[in-house]
Amino acid sequence: MFGKVMVANRGEIAIRVFRTLREMGIASVAVYSEVDRDAEFVRHADEAYLVGPGPATESYLKIPALIDVARRSGAEAVHPGYGFLAENAAFARALGEAGIVWIGPPPDAIEAMGSKTRARALMAEAGVPIVPGVTDPVATVEEARGIAEEIGYPVAVKAAAGGGGKGFRVAREPGELESAFQGARGEGERFFADGAVYLERYLPEPRHVEIQIMADARGACVWLGERDCSVQRRHQKLVEETPSPVVSDGLRRRMGEASVRAARAVGYRGAGTLEYLVAGEEFFFLEMNTRIQVEHTVTEMVTGYDLVREQVRVAAGEPLSFAQEDIAPRGHAIECRINAEDAARRFMPSPAPITAYREPAGPGVRVDSGVRAGSVIPEIYDPMVAKLVVWDVDRETARRRMIRALDEYVIEGPVTLIPFHRFLLEQEE
């Protein structure tokens, strides 16, 4: 097992990983930018090193600086958290070349699943259902018209390298296709330096359901149930829960088995998430996230397993600590992402100092946060303040517990989504 691990991230996910490392008896190393010099996560590590100015491109995304810190600190491995370089195959390879272990999947698996078109082709070969469409990039609007007529409107035009809602456009009728094509291609070029796009049938009212998988280097691969992530804004998740209220036992098993096939198809290792669109008893592959997810917490709440601990164990060459038959999810868990955003202003970020802060507590309540009173939510990073997670025996009691926890949560200074979440959880929909 490792003696020291560096976390190449910030905020609540850095603290989340530090806590598991401490429980495992592993020394921890933080990296921080000038903006984060006094951030709460820095205090949770055994050692902390400055890596650059505030902008992520000059600090958290600067691979040579991160590797330099790992070497100087004596860290044997690096956990990337999520976001930043968590799905960057070049970073994973650079660490390997420096003799440092990457706590994540093999770089080849990251690359295979990072390209939407290549991933669709691989999943089709592995027998994982994909939305009707094409796996090859579409070069022109004229070519797109022919494909759209074949698969039927509405169609989704997607950037091959897209994600997080970027490079995604919908054409509900032929007259909208050219605008959707150019819009998706333009965003692909701007955000991912890749203008390749592909087409697939657009499902108007699907549920967004994902399956958590975990694999070791010894051939074991398991699935740990599903998470429903259908409540989103701008294609980014706000509320996640498990189990999904629309997934039957049979569908759950089919999705889980398909997810294991998908992981095996790319030689996967570590924690990963297969995301699907679900319509009735049908499910279609959407993408794979080759990292720990923000919402891994709800899976931990119902299964009792520490997924970060398993990531570390697997990276150290140890086997998974559980088999498929050991996984028996119990109860219902819900996560609300508490962002510093103003829902009344189209979810505009609300960066500001936190003047008062008090977290909820009590039975079945978990808060993964990276702040305290006096912390500042900076303008230049993601506006997530915390993840509020609750567990109870069933969905209705978990919903009521979440409302109670939201009522207890005090964050003064920035505008947050707490009132929005409270409103949302009281709607019949």
Backbone φ and ψ for 426, nearest 5 degrees, come out as: -100, 0
Indicate which residue of 291, 313, 337, 401 is catalytic: 291
> Is there a catalytic annotation at residue 254?
no
Please provide the distance, in angstroms rounded to a whole number, between the alpha carbons at the two ends of the chain.
47
What does the alpha-carbon distance between residue 127 and residue 129 come to, in Å, rounded to a whole number?
6
**Strands of 166-171's sheet in order across:** 166-171, 155-163, 197-201
Annotated catalytic residues are 291
